A and B are shown apart, each in its own frame.
Chain A
Amino acid sequence: MAIEFISGCKAAAEAARLANVDVVAAYPITPQTSIVEYLAKDVSNGRLKAEMVLAESEHSAMSACVGASMVGARAFTATASQGLALMHEVLFYAAGLRLPIVSVIVNRSLASPVSIFADFKDSLAQRDTGWLQFYVESCQEILDSVLIAYRVIEDSRVLLPAFVCMEGFVLSHLSEPVDVPDVQTVSKFLPACDPKYPTLDLKDPKIFNVMAFPDTYEEFERDKQISMLNAFEALQEAYQDFEKIFGRKYQDVETYRVEDADIVLATMGAAAGTAMMVVDQLRSLGERVGLVKVRTFRPFPRRQLREILSHARVVGVLDRDLSIGSTGILFQELQSSLYNQPQRPLMQNFIAGLGGRDIHQGTIGAIFQSLKDTLQKGFVEKNLNWPDENREVLSIWGLPVDHDD
């Protein structure tokens, strides 16, 4: 093991190398590009023995991953934004064929208007495709999560593909000290690829991707649903082993000072780090506030969240995304998870950080203030909030500052 000062993209590439992937198929897009460049360099100088498929589009990159995986090779790709949207059709296909492919997503918003900066719109728009989704907070967590992802999705209880998502520029281009393990240590955690799913095998010829009629299609979906939920068990085991081997601890939902908190803020990704500092400040002033970071978004840890939030009186959800015409997506998931609780908290949604707008401590402080007001009032005045809106633009455009769902 060696501590190296590397970026999120480099950490992702190092993880793919350590996972000893057989095929890398990808297409360049900011801010993902350097992941593939690093891997190309590794292949070029013999650090990694893999086939590079430098596809002519993301649709083809994902299709090539499918082809490779269908013959039992470990496949890796990375993309973002427009590229991920272009892959959409193939994502369902890969999940339906039960192929354990890992794709690193360097989250970036989508046109139009054009933005190369982070929000979770790209990966959350793929939430129904049957892929596991992990959202990370640090460069170390990127590396670790790719290894954990392969181990979990190649497990015969799971066999579904996975995204490991990091926010573009926020993490992808930020350099942090990362503990890069050696190949031998990794092989103790992640065994060599040994496909537990049916493949294109000359010795046992099968015909893949046939039609399912109404009498079976639903059961195929249900099978994926069950496998997705099985991932919790596989993840738990992987986290334990990971901690034993590497000394770092992960959970599907990470909590910070929630035990006695009346007010809890839930979020995903890098904003959690900033929010933690705000929690500390507020705690020092005597406020009973806490933080929840959802790391595993698919499968969605409903049960864990119910337990963690069983004593909270107000829950705020900070969404770096918006399902236009509804609310933030994490908010929807969390609210529906808590709805049948006998004592459910009041809930408020905060949209921030879209298209790369920084999520500052001040913004998070304002969110906690609003949650505190709600606690005092005892009801939610406004479901959907924009704590960091650009009022100048709103007024020029004549858009209402105060509107609710």
Chain B
Amino acid sequence: MTTNYTIKTLPDLEQVAPGRSGCDGCGAVMAARWISKITGQSTIMVNATGCMCVNYGYAGAPLHPYIHSLFENTGSILSGIDAGLRALGKRREVNLVGLAGDGGTVDIGFQSLSGAVERQHRFLYVCYDNEGYMNTGGQRSGATPYGSNTATTPVGSEQQGEGLSLLRRKNMVLVMAAHGIPYAATASIAYPLDFMNKVKKAIEIDGPTYLHVLAPCPTSWGFASEESVKIGKLAVETRFAPLYEVEQGKKIVLDRRRSKGTPIIEYLKAQKRFSHLLKPENQHRVDEIQSQIDESWRYLESLAQE
């Protein structure tokens, strides 16, 4: 195991050309850039349909071989590439990476990803979680948090945003860890070094690895473009999106330091998608969200105890 990167030792060489399209301050594009900074020139990337294939892929930003898969088959295209490279005796030359949004991962692409890791193909799969189907205009996905005002869960007189997701979101990292894969972890674009060191750790493993990176979306979440990092930090600090790693499906390392437990209201009030929750009559919803977050945190802590 080699030592972790510091900002000083990070490679200066970019594997991304400037000039991509899409929104200012996009969190997902930050994650994309940081992945290939670590995986380098020998990266082959498979990217599901979504904001990144459009604004990053079609725009021509990657400097390494790249294929936009279909929406739901990133996992199985990765499987085929892995198998093909093995058959041709070229597997060691390549850092194979999958990149997909939350929709392409927790919803429509779930099956192909699950199959691919179960078959022990070697690749790093990164889900950039912007908590909805953003490329199609910000509809809810299986990763949209409770209460969100989205294009398909609009706030109206009868309904107050996303109401379906049982207060908690599908915990994709624990789901992936339950496959028994060597490495699965969460990350946030607010902490680039943490993220890149996780990428580094994952890519060195001969097996399937999974990273779930929270990627704030100024456009659909409703905040100013310069605030992406701030929002990403708040998500971690409030324990809305805690940072943790799971090795071999068992050993859980929880970052308690960064998730200090700032009240969730700080996170909610920074984004327009939650603005209706600030009304007095919705206070009980905020309370529900807070208690759900507390419960999830206690659960993670219990898992992290040796």
Chain A interface residues (CB < 8 Å from chain B) = 22-23, 25, 49-57, 59-61, 63-73, 75, 89-90, 93, 200-202, 205-211
Contact = CB atoms under 8 A, between A and B. Distances in A.
A23 B83 contact: yes
Contacts of B69: 63, 209
B24 interface: no
23 contacts: A23-B80, A55-B79, A56-B118, A57-B111, A59-B72, A59-B112, A60-B79, A63-B76, A63-B112, A64-B83, A67-B77, A67-B80, A67-B82, A68-B87, A70-B67, A70-B84, A73-B84, A73-B87, A201-B65, A202-B65, A205-B65, A209-B69, A211-B58
Interface in B141-184: none
Given A63-B76, A67-B78, A202 B44 contact: yes
B36 to A, nearest CB: 11
Interface in B234-293: none
Interface size class of B (residues with CB under 8 A): 35 or more
Contacts of B118: 56
B70 A68 contact: no
Contact of A67 (B42, B54, B84, B114): B84
B87 A50 contact: yes
A68 B112 contact: no
Nearest to B74: A63
A208 B53 CA distance: 10
Contacts of B79: 25, 53, 55, 60, 63-64, 67
Name the residue in A53, A54, A57 with the highest tally of chain B Cβ atoms < 10 Å from its Cβ.
A53
Interface SS of chain B: helix
B294 to A, nearest CB: 36
Interface stretch (B1-9, B88-96, B128-136, B214-222): B88-96
B198 interface: no
Contact of B68 (A56, A68, A72, A209): A209
B80 A70 contact: yes
B62 interface: yes
Nearest to A22: B87
A208 B65 CA distance: 8
A69 B118 CA distance: 22
A66 B77 contact: yes
A210 B56 CA distance: 10
Contacts of B54: 211
A57 B60 CA distance: 31
A310 B187 CA distance: 70
A56 B111 contact: yes
Contacts of B116: 60
B68 A208 contact: yes
Contacts of A211: 54, 58
B93 A202 contact: yes
Given A51-B87, A56-B111, A205-B65, A25 B73 contact: no
A210 B112 CA distance: 22
Given A57-B115, A60-B115, A63-B112, A25 B80 contact: yes
Nearest to A207: B66
Nearest to B94: A202
Given A57-B111, A60-B75, A208-B66, A67 B81 contact: yes
Contacts of A200: 44, 65-67, 81
Nearest to B118: A56
Contact of B70 (A53, A70, A90, A202): A90
A299 to B, nearest CB: 26
B86 A51 contact: yes
Given A207-B66, A208-B66, A67 B46 contact: yes
Contacts of A201: 65
Contacts of B111: 56-57, 60
Contacts of A55: 76, 79, 115
B80 A53 contact: yes
A65 B84 CA distance: 9
B65 A73 contact: no
Nearest to B46: A67
B119 interface: yes
B224 interface: no
Nearest to A65: B80
B67 A208 contact: yes
B241 to A, nearest CB: 29
Contacts of A25: 79-80, 83
Nearest to B75: A60
Given A64-B79, A202-B41, A207-B65, 18 more contacts: A25-B79, A25-B80, A53-B119, A57-B115, A60-B111, A60-B112, A60-B116, A64-B77, A67-B46, A70-B80, A71-B81, A73-B85, A200-B67, A202-B42, A205-B64, A208-B68, A209-B69, A210-B57
